[in-house]
Chain A
Amino acid sequence: MTTLLDLRSVSLSSGSNHRLKDITLSIQQGEKVALLGQSGSGKTTLIKVANGTLKPTIGKVLWKGIELNKLKRRQKSEIGTLWQDLKLIKELTVCQNVNAGALGRKNALWALRNIFGLIDNENCRKCLQVACLEEILMNKSISSLSGGQQQRVAIARLVHQQPKIILADEPLSSLDPQIANDILNLLLTKRKNSFYTSPNTCVVSLHRPDLLEGFTRVIGLKSGEIFFDIPIGNLNKTNINKLYL
């Protein structure tokens, strides 16, 4: 087994607010980790620290043994994030947003051509397929899509990025149960076509302890600290109740 993400005694505080306290954990290839915790417990903060958008005040974060800020562009693109607010670009079409996933391996000229709509959309089509979106949506504007459709566009963009790990921040909030199940399936089950092999590693922060099917490990966060970090089999009602107390 290879270690992908490695957080070593990571703390983060802004002012007197200790958002993360001495967190040490490593994610092995093949693990599917559920991140649980009350609102404000630090789930989003942990994900931001893990993908490098927040710098810890103390401690180190390594990707395959290399510190995050020393990664090359290609290596950075191996860490894929599904943001809680999706971070889609309203001014661009669905297809252009999906293509933006490939920016980690493309140059600025390609980026400009995509803005002008001059990129072949074959790859985009395959990504939409993986994310179960109809092709006809390709040239629509983001704002004309429903919430669930937008979420799938964000996933299609992630597919185009071809990451080795997916960090997903509450991908199920504000979705109705049926769609929530579909999205979770998308993230957890192995998918493969000519273009894409889904990574078998992910960290998903969740509000709902009832949707843990398919995960292999559960981490509970409480006030910025790891409250438990156990295989899914060891999880029981008392753990959960104490976490949300």
Chain B
Amino acid sequence: MILNKPVLCILPILAIVPIASNVFYDIHPGGINLLYNFFSSALNPSFESDVLYAVFNGLQDTISIALIGWSVSLFFGISLALITSDIFYILFKVPYSIKKFLKILLSIPRGIHELVWGLLLLQILGLTSWVAILALAIPYSCLNARVFSDQINALDKASLDSLIQIGSGPIQVIITGLWPKIFPVLVSYGGYRLECAIRGATLLGVFGLGGIGTELQLSTQSLQFREVWTSIWVLVISIFCLEKIIERIKDINKIQKNIKHFSVIGLIIISILLVISVIRLGGLNINTSININSITLPSVKSLLIAINNIDLVKLISQTLFISLLATGIAVGIPPIMSMLFPTSIGQDVIAKIYMICRTLPSPLIALLLLLFIYPSLSVASLAIGIQNMGVLGRILKENIDRNDKFIAIAFEKSGASKSSSWLYGKFCQQSNSYLAYSLYRFDIILKETAAIGVVGGAGLGWKLQESLSSFAWEEVLIIVATFISLTMIGESLSGSLEASLNNKKMQSFNPTPNVSN
């Protein structure tokens, strides 16, 4: 067997073997019936007026939360990106060590999943709309900061230097030199983050923080599958519309021609939407709701005792196990699906399925799975795997559509089947970047495992929930610290793997004889 890149992309599908065999034995007797009921309700959602009212009400809450959280994270993301970018230290002559310190500081909130933030903030702030908004805004700000500062650092320094040379002030340099170049990235990446924010807000809702997620969770638990599907369809359609709008706006060329117009119009639209959202969430009860619950910092001794009480090794290995299996499913299934259904109708249907998969928060998928399967690590992996498969499936399709189709056509015209032509003519070319993206996805999955553990009854996430509800702050602290270290290790590992992939890619353009495979 040869371990080339296409194989490395497909091989993870083997994760399905342990999952399927576990799940098969864990299906409970009444489960099949429920499963049938669930899927047969898909085309028969509830249209009763009170259901529709609740769903649309929930959707508006979710979108309001997402919008506010997203705008805040954009604002702080840009500001933090500036003060962690190289150019800032040149312009304002600040010592470089501050930058390093800031970068490390920012990576800590980023390492915690928005749900974990939600659960923590819930304890501190009580049940208010602020919790969901902050839970989104804090990690997203840091994430945006990293992405944007990477973009700023990647810019061509020469043009900025020339601005500095002719004596422009720092602010002028930022506005005239930086903004026009960063703006297109801001639009396309920011748009993608808005989608994430809506998904995140829905997810928080599943845990009782309001909005359409709460509707979904309530109707799932009371087995009202027709109502569940009303929410699912409404969500899917809204995300679909959003994706289409972003696709339209993303057109880089158009943006670059009219940066001033785009900036101003964008700012106005976002402000209007923000005002509506804030009004909708009741002015956010700014005065009344923030009553910070008192938390006393745990002593070193109690921390040590807590470490003894928690079986960290077991929890970490469970978390890693879930993440790995989930990544296997998410990475391995899309290529095989495209091979099995290579016709354009087949591809369309698959794309729609992916869309539903990535719209549903993974804890909700887990809840649905738990209707007919007993809880286990496999269920947790399956739920995260399905959700992320929706994301990776789209990335794969988008990249392949952007690529040269002619090789596949040439294969087809020489008699190869549609599936084989897709595999050889389209997928192989894409395997390197797919692999690189999959590594990056593993980080996200690792973080998400925190969220799913809460439902699946396993791993760090579940323990966190338990410790929170018993107010064991020492344990909470330890678990959160473990989360952060895990995601940091994950990020640096996949980062270096990705770098080596890119190196190999460079090499393959640069023919070196005598190098055997």
> Is B432 within 8 A of A91, CB to CB?
yes
14 contacts between A and B (CB under 8 A): A51-B414, A74-B415, A76-B415, A87-B407, A105-B415, A116-B1, A117-B7, A139-B2, A143-B509, A144-B512, A144-B513, A144-B514, A145-B513, A161-B414
Pick from A52, A79, A116: contact of B2, CB below 8 A. A116
Q: Pick from B2, B339, B413, B508 the residue with the most CB of A within 10 Å.
A: B413
> Is B516 within 8 A of A144, CB to CB?
yes
> Is B411 within 8 A of A103, CB to CB?
yes
Q: Pick from B2, B407, B410 the residue with the most CB of A within 10 Å.
A: B2
List 12 extra interface pairs beyond A103-B415, A161-B414, CB under 8 A. Answer: A53-B413, A73-B415, A79-B414, A87-B406, A91-B4, A93-B517, A105-B415, A108-B417, A111-B416, A116-B7, A145-B511, A161-B415
Name the distance in Å between B279's Cβ and chain A's nearest Cβ. 53
Known: A79-B414, A104-B414, A107-B417. A92 touches B428 (CB 8 A): yes
Q: Which residue of B lies closest to A157 (CB)?
A: B414
Q: Which residue of A lies closest to B515 (CB)?
A: A144
Q: Check A178 for interface membership: any CB of B closer than 8 A.
A: no
Give the chain B neighbours of A117 by CB distance below 8 A: 1-2, 4, 7
Q: Which residue of A lies closest to B508 (CB)?
A: A143
Interface residue ranges, A against B (CB under 8 Å): 51-53, 73-81, 83, 87, 89-93, 96, 100, 103-108, 111-112, 115-118, 139-141, 143-146, 161
Which 10 residue pairs spanning A and B have beta carbons closest together?
Answer: A104-B415, A77-B415, A117-B2, A103-B416, A108-B419, A111-B420, A76-B415, A52-B413, A91-B428, A73-B415
C-alpha gap A117/B410 in the complex (Å): 22
> Is A112 within 8 A of B517, CB to CB?
no
C-alpha gap A197/B410 in the complex (Å): 23
C-alpha gap A111/B511 in the complex (Å): 27
Q: Check B84 for interface membership: any CB of A closer than 8 A.
A: no
Q: Check B6 for interface membership: any CB of A closer than 8 A.
A: yes
Q: Which residue of B lies closest to A161 (CB)?
A: B414
> Is B414 within 8 A of A76, CB to CB?
yes
Give the chain A neighbours of B429 by CB distance below 8 A: 89-91
Name the distance in Å between B322's Cβ and chain A's nearest Cβ. 27
C-alpha gap A53/B406 in the complex (Å): 8
Give the chain A neighbours of B424 by CB distance below 8 A: 89, 92, 100, 103, 111, 115
C-alpha gap A81/B413 in the complex (Å): 10
> Is B414 within 8 A of A103, CB to CB?
yes
Interface residue ranges, B against A (CB under 8 Å): 1-2, 4-7, 10, 339, 406-407, 409-417, 419-421, 423-424, 428-429, 431-432, 507-517
> Is A108 within 8 A of B414, CB to CB?
no
Give the chain A neighbours of B407 by CB distance below 8 A: 87, 89
Give the chain A neighbours of B414 by CB distance below 8 A: 51, 76-77, 79-81, 103-104, 161
> Is B419 within 8 A of A111, CB to CB?
yes
C-alpha gap A52/B360 in the complex (Å): 43
C-alpha gap A121/B512 in the complex (Å): 25
Give the chain A neighbours of B421 by CB distance below 8 A: 103
Q: Which residue of B lies closest to A143 (CB)?
A: B508
Between A and B, how many residue pairs show CB distances below 8 Å? 126
Known: A89-B428, A92-B6. A73 touches B516 (CB 8 A): no
Q: Which residue of B lies closest to A111 (CB)?
A: B420
Give the chain B neighbours of A104 by CB distance below 8 A: 414-416
Name the distance in Å between B50's Cβ and chain A's nearest Cβ. 50
Pick from B410, B415, B432, B513: contact of A146, CB below 8 A. B513
Name the distance in Å between A160's Cβ and chain B's nearest Cβ. 11
C-alpha gap A93/B428 in the complex (Å): 12
The DSSP consensus for interface residues of chain B is helix
Give the chain B neighbours of A139 by CB distance below 8 A: 2, 516-517
Q: Pick from A53, A80, A89, A93 the residue with the most CB of B within 10 Å.
A: A89
C-alpha gap A53/B508 in the complex (Å): 28
Give the chain A neighbours of B10 by CB distance below 8 A: 112, 115
Name the distance in Å between A241's Cβ and chain B's nearest Cβ. 35
C-alpha gap A67/B423 in the complex (Å): 27
Give the chain A neighbours of B417 by CB distance below 8 A: 73, 103, 107-108, 111
Give the chain B neighbours of A91 by CB distance below 8 A: 4-6, 428-429, 431-432
C-alpha gap A75/B413 in the complex (Å): 10
Pick from A51, A90, A111: contact of B413, CB below 8 A. A51
Give the chain B neighbours of A73 by CB distance below 8 A: 415-417
Give the chain A neighbours of B411 by CB distance below 8 A: 100, 103
C-alpha gap A79/B511 in the complex (Å): 31
Q: Which residue of B lies closest to A73 (CB)?
A: B415
Pick from A74, A93, A107, A108: contact of B4, CB below 8 A. A93
C-alpha gap A146/B421 in the complex (Å): 26
Q: Pick from B6, B7, B414, B419 the residue with the most CB of A within 10 Å.
A: B414
> Is B420 within 8 A of A108, CB to CB?
yes
Q: Which residue of A lies closest to B430 (CB)?
A: A91
Give the chain A neighbours of B1 by CB distance below 8 A: 116-118
> Is A140 within 8 A of B509, CB to CB?
no
> Is A112 within 8 A of B413, CB to CB?
no
Name the distance in Å between A221's Cβ and chain B's nearest Cβ. 21
Give the chain A neighbours of B412 by CB distance below 8 A: 76
Give the chain B neighbours of A52 by CB distance below 8 A: 413
> Is B511 within 8 A of A112, CB to CB?
no
Name the distance in Å between B493's Cβ and chain A's nearest Cβ. 24
Name the distance in Å between A81's Cβ and chain B's nearest Cβ. 7
Give the chain A neighbours of B513 by CB distance below 8 A: 144-146
Q: Pick from A90, A91, A116 the residue with the most CB of B within 10 Å.
A: A91
> Is B511 within 8 A of A143, CB to CB?
yes
Give the chain A neighbours of B4 by CB distance below 8 A: 91-93, 96, 115, 117
Q: Which residue of B lies closest to A142 (CB)?
A: B508
C-alpha gap A39/B194 in the complex (Å): 50
> Is A87 within 8 A of B413, CB to CB?
no
C-alpha gap A118/B7 in the complex (Å): 11
Name the distance in Å between A34's Cβ and chain B's nearest Cβ. 22
Name the distance in Å between A69's Cβ and chain B's nearest Cβ. 10
Known: A93-B4, A96-B2, A115-B6. A140 touches B517 (CB 8 A): yes
Give the chain A neighbours of B432 by CB distance below 8 A: 91
Pick from B339, B410, B514: contact of A83, CB below 8 A. B410
Give the chain B neighbours of A81 by CB distance below 8 A: 410, 413-414
Give the chain B neighbours of A106 by CB distance below 8 A: 420
C-alpha gap A87/B406 in the complex (Å): 9
C-alpha gap A140/B517 in the complex (Å): 5
Pick from B406, B415, B508, B517: contact of A90, CB below 8 A. B508
Give the chain B neighbours of A108 by CB distance below 8 A: 339, 417, 419-420, 423
Give the chain A neighbours of B507 by CB distance below 8 A: 143
Give the chain A neighbours of B423 by CB distance below 8 A: 108, 111-112, 115
Give the chain B neighbours of A118 by CB distance below 8 A: 1
C-alpha gap A117/B1 in the complex (Å): 5
Give the chain B neighbours of A140 by CB distance below 8 A: 516-517
